[in-house]
Structure 1
Amino acid sequence: MHKQRENRIGAQLGRAARLESFGGPEKLKVWNVPAPQAGPGEIRIRVVAAGLNPMDWVMTSDAETAARFGLSLPCGYGTDYAGVVDQVGEGVAGYSVGDRVFGTALSRSLADYILMSADGDIASGVAHHTPEGVEDRTAATLAIAGSTAAAALAKLDLGPGDTVLIGGAGGGVGVFAVQLARLSGARVVGTGSAASAGYLSSLGATPVTYGDGLAERIRALDGALPTAALDLHGTDTVDVARELGVPNDRICTIAAAVPGVHAANGAEAGPEALQDIAHYVAEGELRVPIAKTFPLVQVRAAVELQAARHVRGKIVVDL
């Protein structure tokens, strides 16, 4: 744990990853900034770990994209976090100093201290209580990817009689989608590279290599053809699912809009979705592979690795 820092007049300082101009990881710097103070209706969280997601670098890549998310300069970075409540503002109920929490803080989670409205949501920022048995690094990976997977699978309404084709099953959202689909009783066929076959199998999916000829490879698998499909990267899986006879109302995307099929995002997840996911983790029914961890001072390297999209599992920054 880092030592608390103070400036010469005694004001508390904390570190924060910030962008003074929008762009790639090279624009990120770690600054010492005044620590925010919890006002009425707010809690302050000392962040312990922050998980990275593709949306973090996408929405800060240029000024036009950032504006669509309501971001302006100077801008923080990162959304998923886990930490400990260390200040509770006037009028707040349900949180106490020392409570372990996890959730979202849009483009500001990579900081020693963040403020959160006690009645926020996944879009504005939210703090869920971290169950016993869930370590902070794992808790810091749950919010965005877990909510997105839960929202998408809710559109498909899977059950024990289903076989779901998940395109991009080895990515950050795929880790959750595969396991949540299996927990619903469905069989999962997951696409990935040839090298990811063992990894996908370990999550509970039947692996199949993506690319040309995917429909034929799926037909050659033992077991029923897909009855539902989830495309986590674009539209290729949508096209293959349609070719295999999956109806439009049982296909969902998260990264592209396709006429006639469902689209989902994490903000649509029910309020209980993240608590259920955290419970599954605590009970050992769902695991989140942590591919690599970095200290905050190496945030650029962490973002570069995550943005390359070749990592199996999640990347976490320790604070």
Structure 2
Amino acid sequence: MKAISYRSYGGPEVLEYGEVRDPKVGPDSVLVKVRAAAVNPVDWKCREGHLDGLLDPVFPVIPGWDVSGVVVQPGAAAPEFAVGDEVIGYVREDFLSRGTFAEYVAAPIRTLARKPRNLTFEEAAGLPLAGLTAYQVINQALEVTEGDVVLVHAAAGGVGSIAVQLARHAGARVIGTASERNHDYLRDLGAEPVTYGDGLVDRVRGLAPEGVDAAFDPVGGDTLKASAELLSPGGRLASIADGGVIGLGGHYCFVRPVAADLQRLSELAEQDVVTVHVDRTFPLERAAEAHRLSEEGRTRGKIVVTVEWKE
């Protein structure tokens, strides 16, 4: 099959497009014909070796953890899905090798859910990792409820934009940080926008003088410190970027591929509670360009790689 792969850590230039071995389908997996795969910051961080202490690479590595596609072969012990089922998945294993930037991926059933019927394959591919991250932080780590004031940083990004929608669905008031060009987008999502950078704490306090009940930090560093400073007494703090949050009494969250959570997200998408904004799409062979764009960190919503198929 055709796929993107890399044989050593490095920049986008190490990504190669060409033939690789077809995946084997284990008993608890299904073979998915890939229609689209979203790009996430973790993809290029893995490619550069930043997760080497956590995940062993088995070169050549096919990048990508997000996928939307169609089941073409169920495994021997995977009755949950049948040929023709449209699915989405956060196909993360405990090593780097068999990713989703390919024509096919063998996906463990624990990583899959049914694709939202009202989303395109491109939109659906942007839901799993970003959606699960937002869902597990907003609903489980921060336990956002009606009446909370919630601060979401990088609120126009893939994770942040879904976090805003989930918090609003829970009945919270949401303050979101973003560049000024994304403020109207945040208003459309139901958030009150604030420009990040110098003076952020004062600007947020101008909207929430008594502090915020919960803060979601996907950036770390100074953003995490500002979040802690802005909490009201008893406020909750979570970060997906900085383990220092634990020392501040908060939660450090690393997203898990939980099928039940992903299925719930699919249902919320079908109810128009959660939408996915696709900023740019690239064909599979131009995945290096998609990685470069992701590394710039200025994307509104998701970057998606598509796989063209002749029916």
TM-score (norm 2): 0.89
| Separation in 1, partners of 2:219, 2:229 | 18
| Separation in 2, partners of 1:27, 1:90 | 36
Give 2:114's match in structure 1, choosing from 129, 134, 148: 129
Show structure 1 runs of 5+ residues with no match.
1-13, 121-125
> In the alignment, residue 253 of structure 2 is paired with which amino acid?
A
Q: Find the counterpart in structure 2 of residue 34 from structure 1.
A: 21
The aligned runs of 1:1-319 (5 Å cut-off) are 14-62=1-49, 65-66=51-52, 68-106=54-92, 108-118=99-109, 120=110, 126-153=111-138, 154-221=140-207, 225-247=211-233, 250-258=236-244, 259=247, 260-267=249-256, 271-319=259-307
RCO higher in 1 or 2 (8 Å CA, sep ≥ 6)? 2
Q: 1:247 deviation in Å? A: 4.4
| Secondary structure class of the residue paired with 2:264 | helix
| Separation in 2, partners of 1:151, 1:49 | 23
| Separation in 1, partners of 2:82, 2:231 | 53
Give aligned-pair identity as a percent.
Answer: 37
Q: 1:164 deviation in Å? A: 0.6
> In the alignment, residue 146 of structure 1 is paired with which amino acid?
G
Rg larger in structure: 1
Instruction: List 4+ stretches of structure 1 deviating above 4 A.
Output: none
Q: 1:156 deviation in Å? A: 1.3
Contact 1:230 1:237 in 2 (8 A): no
Contact 1:178 1:203 in 2 (8 A): yes
Provide the alpha-carbon RMSD of the alignment. 1.9
Q: 1:280 deviation in Å? A: 1.6
- Aligned residue pair count: 298
1:57-113: per-residue Cα shift (whole Å, max 9, x none)? 101202x63352122211111110011111123233111111111102235100101
| Separation in 1, partners of 2:41, 2:263 | 23
| Secondary structure class of the residue paired with 1:299 | helix
Distance 1:277 1:117, change over 3 A: closer
| Secondary structure class of the residue paired with 2:212 | coil
> In the alignment, residue 25 of structure 1 is paired with which amino acid?
P
| Secondary structure class of the residue paired with 1:47 | strand
1:144-197: per-residue Cα shift (whole Å, max 9, x none)? 111111111121111122101111111221011111010100000011112221
Distance 1:157 1:35, change over 3 A: same
Contact 1:242 1:248 in 2 (8 A): no
TM-score (norm 1): 0.87
Show structure 2 runs of 5+ residues with no match.
none
| Secondary structure class of the residue paired with 1:109 | coil
> In the alignment, residue 177 of structure 2 is paired with which amino acid?
T
Distance 1:237 1:47, change over 3 A: same
Greater displacement, 279-288 / 180-189: 279-288
Distance 1:88 1:242, change over 3 A: closer
> In the alignment, residue 110 of structure 1 is paired with which amino acid?
F
